Structure 1
Amino acid sequence: MTRSLVIAPQWIGDAVMSEPLLARLAARGEELAVAALPWVAPVYRAMPQVREVIELPFAHGRLDWAARRRIAATLRGRFDAAYVLPNSLKAALIPWFAGIPRRVGYRGEGRYVLLNQRLPNPGGRPPMVAFYSALAGEAARGDERPRLAFEARVVNGAARDAGVEPGRYWAFAPGAEYGPAKCWPAGHYAELARRLHERDGLPVLLLGSAKEAALCRQIEAAAPAACRVMAGETSLMDAMALIAGARGLVSNDSGLMHVAAAFGLPQVAVFGSTSPEHTPPLNTRARVLWLKDELKLACMPCFERECRFGHYRCLSEVAPQRVEAALREVLPTS
Structure 2
Amino acid sequence: MAERILILGPSWVGDMVLAHSLFQSLKARRPDAHVAVAAPGWTLPLLARMPEVDEAIGLPFRHGELALGERIRFGRSLRGKHFTQAILLVNSLKSAILPIAADIPRRTGFLGEFRYGLLNDIRPLDKAALPRTVDRFVALGLETDEVLPAVLPQPCLHADSASALATMQKLGIARPEAPVLALCPGAEYGPAKRWPEAYYAEVANQMLSRGWQVWLFGSEKDTPVTANINRLTQERCRDLSGKTSLGEAIDLMSLASAVVSNDSGLMHVAAALQLPLVAIYGSSDPSHTPPMSDKARVLSLNLSCSPCFKRECPLGHLRCLRDIAPERIIENLPSSGGIRSL
Task: Please give the TM-score of this superposition, normalised by the length of structure 2.
Answer: 0.91
Residue number in structure 2 paired with 1:230:
240
Residue number in structure 2 paired with 1:172:
183
- 2:137 aligned with 1:136, yes or no? no
Matches within 5 A, 1:90-101: 90-101=94-105
Matches within 5 A, 1:1-334: 1-27=2-28, 28=30, 29-78=32-81, 79-123=83-127, 126-137=131-142, 138-144=146-152, 145-162=154-171, 163-165=173-175, 168-202=179-213, 204-292=214-302, 297-328=303-334
Classify 1:172/1:219 alpha carbon distance in 2 versus 1 (closer, same or farther; 3 Å). Answer: same
In 1, Cα distance between equivalents of 2:253 and 2:75? 35
Secondary structure at 2:6's aligned position in 1? strand
- Whether the 8 Å CA contact 2:217–2:249 is kept in 1: the answer is yes
In 2, Cα distance between equivalents of 1:143 and 1:331? 29
In 2, Cα distance between equivalents of 1:332 and 1:281? 23
The percent identity for this pair of structures is 43
- The 4+ residue runs of structure 1 with deviation greater than 6 A are none
Q: After superposition, give the CA deviation of every residue in 1:229-287 in whole Å (9 maximum; x if it has no partner).
A: 21111101111111222111110011111111111001101111112111111111111
Which letter maps to 1:239? A
Which letter maps to 2:219? S
In 2, Cα distance between equivalents of 1:44 and 1:232? 21
In 2, Cα distance between equivalents of 1:214 and 1:155? 25
- Whether the 8 Å CA contact 1:16–1:146 is kept in 2: the answer is yes
Deviation at 1:175, TM superposition (A): 0.7
Which letter maps to 1:48? P
RMSD of equivalent CA atoms: 2.0
Classify 1:272/1:116 alpha carbon distance in 2 versus 1 (closer, same or farther; 3 Å). Answer: same
Secondary structure at 1:103's aligned position in 2? strand
In 2, Cα distance between equivalents of 1:63 and 1:196? 48
In 1, Cα distance between equivalents of 2:251 and 2:67? 32
Secondary structure at 2:332's aligned position in 1? helix
List gaps (5 residues or longer) in structure 2.
none
Which letter maps to 1:4? I
Deviation at 1:332, TM superposition (A): 6.7
Secondary structure at 1:276's aligned position in 2? coil
- Whether the 8 Å CA contact 1:290–1:314 is kept in 2: the answer is yes
Which letter maps to 2:34? E
Secondary structure at 1:273's aligned position in 2? coil
Moved more, 223-232 or 236-245: 223-232
Deviation at 1:309, TM superposition (A): 1.0
Deviation at 1:329, TM superposition (A): 6.4
Moved more, 18-27 or 222-231: 222-231
Secondary structure at 2:5's aligned position in 1? strand
Classify 1:164/1:108 alpha carbon distance in 2 versus 1 (closer, same or farther; 3 Å). Answer: farther
In 1, Cα distance between equivalents of 2:51 and 2:336? 27
In 1, Cα distance between equivalents of 2:134 and 2:337? 26
Paired residues, what number? 329
- Whether the 8 Å CA contact 1:286–1:330 is kept in 2: the answer is no
- Whether the 8 Å CA contact 2:258–2:334 is kept in 1: the answer is no
Q: After superposition, give the CA deviation of every residue in 1:26-73 in whole Å (9 maximum; x if it has no partner).
A: 221211111110222211111001111111111111111122122112
Deviation at 1:200, TM superposition (A): 1.6
- Whether the 8 Å CA contact 1:285–1:330 is kept in 2: the answer is no
In 1, Cα distance between equivalents of 2:209 and 2:66? 51
Which letter maps to 1:257? M
Q: After superposition, give the CA deviation of every residue in 1:205-238 in whole Å (9 maximum; x if it has no partner).
A: 2111111111111111111343222111110111
Classify 1:33/1:183 alpha carbon distance in 2 versus 1 (closer, same or farther; 3 Å). Answer: same
Task: Please give the TM-score of this superposition, normalised by the length of structure 1.
Answer: 0.93
Classify 1:330/1:51 alpha carbon distance in 2 versus 1 (closer, same or farther; 3 Å). Answer: farther
Deviation at 1:142, TM superposition (A): 2.8
Secondary structure at 1:283's aligned position in 2? coil
